[in-house]
């Protein structure tokens, strides 16, 4: 059974059909890159997978748990960082991660917080309130809360958005280290990220999947990835 399974997901906002019959699977060891223009339906698909939004029809399952029928169990196996990495601004980084650990009922939450601070290189800002952090650190905090429980499934909405090249490299490095043990979905606008990080590419435009293939196959479409992207999303 795949760790992530979407079957004919459909979601509309009023008259706008944001996601139409999206189906795909992802298994352990896969890093699936979600590519698509703004408003293509990437974030909506992710919100449907995490159970934040309810699908009009179709189904989604995380680690074998249907997100509509068994949402709490599905969410236990899931780490999710929404776009912009929201966090409780008045809490310090350590307090915020401790809250995430406590809410998930993790054993030895203090140790989990310490390990996650180390993993995400947040130690030096652990005592700072989230509101005072730079965007790069905020994104890392968002990433940290998503991985604190070492989930089987990781869904990250533009995790490298706004990061400088060094920070991007760092996030990708951490993701690569984890990837063998997890199914990861990463949405991105950065086509180079596909080559560097992903094992599979799903291109979404106007709410539907335009291409779902291995990285190698996607890269073989042409040397100019921007032209490939434009062609697929036209």
Partner 1 sequence: MKDSPSSGAAFRAVLRREFAGYFRTPLAYVFLAVFNAFAVSLAFFVGGLYEAGVAGLDRFFLYHPWLWAFLAPAAGARLWAEERRQGTLELLLTWPVTVWQAALGKFLAAWLFLACALAITLPVAFTVGWLGDPDVGVIAAGYFGSLLCAGACLGVAAVASALTRSQVIAFVTGFLGCFVLVLVGYGVFDELLSGAFSSGAIDEVRRVGLWRNLEPFTLGLVDARPAAYFLSVAFAGLGLSTVIIERR
- Is residue 114 part of the contact set for partner 1 (CB under 8 A)? no
Q: Which of 2, 64, 71, 136 binds partner 1 (CB under 8 A)?
A: 71
Helix (H/G/I), strand (E/B), else coil: 190: coil
Q: Which is nearer to partner 1, 26 or 100 (CB)?
A: 100
How far, in Å, CA of 104 to CA of 164, rounded? 31
- Is residue 110 part of the contact set for partner 1 (CB under 8 A)? no
- Is residue 187 part of the contact set for partner 1 (CB under 8 A)? no
Residue bearing tokens 């992802």: 26
Q: Which of 69, 90, 118, 164 binds partner 1 (CB under 8 A)?
A: 90
Helix (H) or strand (E) run with residue 23 in it = strand 16-26
- Is residue 135 part of the contact set for partner 1 (CB under 8 A)? no
Distance of CA 224 to the CA centre of its chain: 26
- In sequence order, the 6+-apart residues with CB closer than 8 A to the CB of 191 are 35, 225, 226, 229
| Closest distance to partner 1 from the beta carbon of 192 (Å) | 27
Q: Which is nearer to partner 1, 21 or 73 (CB)?
A: 73
Q: Which is nearer to partner 1, 47 or 215 (CB)?
A: 47
Query: Phi/psi of residue 205, each to 5°?
Result: -145, 140
- Number of residues interacting with partner 1: please give it, by CB under 8 A: 30
- Is residue 167 part of the contact set for partner 1 (CB under 8 A)? no
Helix (H) or strand (E) run with residue 81 in it = strand 78-81
How far, in Å, CA of 163 to CA of 175, rounded? 15
- Is residue 180 part of the contact set for partner 1 (CB under 8 A)? no
- Is residue 75 part of the contact set for partner 1 (CB under 8 A)? yes
Q: Which of 61, 97, 100, 184 binds partner 1 (CB under 8 A)?
A: 100
Residue bearing tokens 């179709």: 58
């Amino acid at each position: 059974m795949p760790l992530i399974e979407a079957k004919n997901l459909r979601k509309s906002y009023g008259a706008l059909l944001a996601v139409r019959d999206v189906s795909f699977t992802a298994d352990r060891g896969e890093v699936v890159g979600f590519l698509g223009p703004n408003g293509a339906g990437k974030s909506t698909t992710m919100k449907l997978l995490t159970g934040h939004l309810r699908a009009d029809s179709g189904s989604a399952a995380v680690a074998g748990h249907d997100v509509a029928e068994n949402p709490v169990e599905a969410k236990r196996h899931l780490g999710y960082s929404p776009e912009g990495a929201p966090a409780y601004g008045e809490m310090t980084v350590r307090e915020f991660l401790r809250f995430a650990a406590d809410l998930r009922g993790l054993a030895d939450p203090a140790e989990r917080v310490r390990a996650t601070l180390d993993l995400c290189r947040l130690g030096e800002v652990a005592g700072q309130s989230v509101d005072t952090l730079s965007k790069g650190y905020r994104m890392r905090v968002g990433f940290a809360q998503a991985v604190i429980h070492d989930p089987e499934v990781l869904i990250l909405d533009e995790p490298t958005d706004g990061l400088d090249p060094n920070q991007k490299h760092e996030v990708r490095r951490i993701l690569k280290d984890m990837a063998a043990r997890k199914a990861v979905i990463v949405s991105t606008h950065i086509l180079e990220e596909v080559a560097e990080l992903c094992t599979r590419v799903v291109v979404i435009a106007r709410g539907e999947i335009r291409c779902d293939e291995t990285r190698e196959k996607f890269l073989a479409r042409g040397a100019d990835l921007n032209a490939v992207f434009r062609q697929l999303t036209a």
